[in-house]
Amino acid sequence: MVSIPMTIVSGVFLVVSLVLLLTETEVPVDPAWVPLIISGVPLLYLAVRRIIFEPKIKKISSALLITIAMIAAIFIDEVFAAGQVAFIMALGEILETITTARARRGIKSLMKIAPARGRRIVTDEGGTMREETVPAEQIAVGDILRILPGEAIPVDGEIITGNTSVDQSIMTGESLPVDKIAGDSVFCGTINRFGSIDIRATKVGEDSSLSKMIRLIREAEHNKAPMQRIVDKWATWLIPVALLVAIITYFVTWDISRAVTALIVFCPCALALATPTSIVAAIGQAAKHGVLIKSGEALENMGKAGIVAFDKTGTLTYGKLTVSDVIALDNMTEDGLLVLAASAESRSEHPLGKAITAYAVERNITPTDTDSFEMTAGKGIKAVIGGKTVLCGNSRFMNEHGISTDPASEIIETLRGEGKAVVLVADDKNIIGIIALADTMRPQAAEVVKALKDMNTAVVLLTGDNGKAARYFAKQAGIEDVRAELLPEQKVEGVKELQKTQKVCMIGDGVNDAPALKTADTGVAMGTIGSDIAIESADIALMSDDISKIPYLKRLSNATIRTIKFNICISIIINIGAIILAAVAVLNPVTGALVHNASSILVVLNAALLYDRKFIKKDKKSAFGTKH
């Protein structure tokens, strides 16, 4: 990396050299040698290194053209012109380095999620079973492990005894703990919420789901190439053309000064500044609107993205369950149903129970004390309230207590088809009501999807949630392409499949989204509620969790790309004009260098205009809000 302090020193000495040149003051050593040494020697080293080590056409780079121009200028004793070219290129490299610097701490945080130890069940020689705590790396496939409520699961495994509910949002992003019984699979790093279970280890160490997720992030990071400078892409034809122009100029005019001037004005300094300065301005513009862009490459790829893939929970939705339906049956009133359900659930630690109790309190319904309370992990609860038995749970729980769910089956299927969680409420004989809970769609979601489609951008839903919930919310948002029940590795495969046709932007909030965010050409994380892993893995973070910023971000990225292309065209036009003027002796090496600087300044000023442009819609009715 070019040293910023040393580049500043170079600039100071270059200004001194220009002042001496304009005042025709002679000194023993031209101060321009300082920027030439500080900024020019690294360019010379880079050019030589690429010639020696890079394969084939990659040997030719912008550094080689600038080195040739510097040497030619020194040859005819135009040290200022040589130092000026070296300084401008160093300045461009600093700007690009600043915009692409990123903090890569996500993998370390992810590794801390996996528990360091596990509780293994072993059998003594006498046949007595006992527990022993062992380091996670000592757990082998086939070992029996006991997981108590509140503990993280140290390996992938299969439940052999016990029932529970497991918070596996780290893997699937699901907003609800998933009920588990014997025979069900559990994943490393997920949390056992309620019942005690024994599991048989099926995948351990590097083979576990969590380790695989870490590996996916590392691979995606390794495979994502840094943004290539536009001048290096064009260097393969810039160098031959520049040399040809200089040679032709010399043989036509027999004036070496004109030939060197042509080389100097042909140097792609303005081209080198076209990309980083536009990106710096755009990143500053985005920061004013609560969007953190971590690299220029992310901005460039966002502008080129033809597909935007959304996660559901916490992204299109708030990721928080609330009561959506209270359906009273068997001559029961809604308030009467809520009194019984909230009273029974008041001692429950399950998220569904807490949501029901909170909803009742909001309705000014005060739960009453229970005479007894019994919870069956992964199924439901049984409580006695004023001598009356109340059951709250799923269909399996009701059937185990001899209560038929047939009278409510049609309602249950309808609610589940809408992606809602269903809690059945019964007395000791019949179903007396149904309470449904649902995540809430963000109000801007549908308009965001429409705005993206209006910009010819396809929208896809990639989620770990069940198919019914995914399709229900996708329909509300206006998304036709839905891919549900995906584990992190399957989300990655989904992104890779989409990348076969166009560049992909992935938007998510959870740890389970991190590999997909890394794999996508651009990853956008929900900054406030998003996990630290997702934020670190993403290229862009929405600090206010306002998804209406996505269309704004797309418009900003598109404008940035257009500005970069415009700056490139302007710099090329100026270069061509300067070459003609050099050939007819209107420009000499010094004035040529000044014109060269002027084109660079023009590019920087045009790029700076991005900072104050308005990309937020002003329509008050728009979900995108008013101008900030």
The set of catalytic residues is 311
Tell me the β-bridge partners of 370. none
- Helix, strand, coil share (%) of the chain residues, nearest 5: 50, 20, 30
Could you identify the residue written with the tokens 């792609």?
Answer: 268
Rounded Cα–Cα distance for residues 184 and 157 (Å): 9
Residues 445 and 105: their CA atoms lie apart, in Å, by 31
CB 143 within 8 A of CB 120: yes
Residues in the chain: 628
| DSSP sequence for 64-83 | HHHHHHHHHHHHTT-HHHHH
Distance CA 462, CA 401 (A): 38
CB 463 within 8 A of CB 448: no
Write the CB contacts of 268 (distance below 8 Å, at least 6 apart in sequence): 62, 65, 66, 231, 234, 235, 238, 571, 575
Query: For residues 423 and 350, is the Cβ–Cβ distance under 8 A?
Result: no
Which residue has 């990225």 as its token pair? 557
∠ at Cα 260 (259, 264), nearest 5°? 120
Cα 137 from Cα 155, distance rounded (Å): 10
* CA 74/CA 83 separation, integer angstroms: 9
Instruction: Output phi, psi for 389, to 5 deg.
Output: -80, 130
Phi, psi of 256 (to 5 degrees): -65, -30
Q: Which of 496, 475, 499 is nearest to 486 (CA)?
A: 496
Three-state SS letters, 563-594: HHHHHHHHHHHHHHHHHHHHHCCCCCHHHHHH
Q: How far apart are CA 455 and CA 435, in angstroms?
A: 41
DSSP string, 79-136: HHHHHHHHHHHHHHHHHHHHHH-----HHHHHHTTS-SEEEEEEE-TTS-EEEEEEEG
Q: At what angle do helices 79-100 and 4-22 cross, to 10 degrees?
A: 150
What sign for the dihedral angle of Cα 319, 324, 326, 327? negative
- State how far the Cα of 136 lies from the Cα of 155, in Å rounded to an integer: 8
In Å, what is the CA distance from 107 to each residue of 447, 518, 521, 572? Answer: 34, 11, 19, 43
Greatest pairwise CA separation for the chain in angstroms:
112
β pairing state of 372-376 and 380-385:
antiparallel
* Contacts of residue 577, Cβ cutoff 8 Å, sequence gap at least 6: none
| Distance, CA of 249 to CA of 256 (rounded, Å) | 8
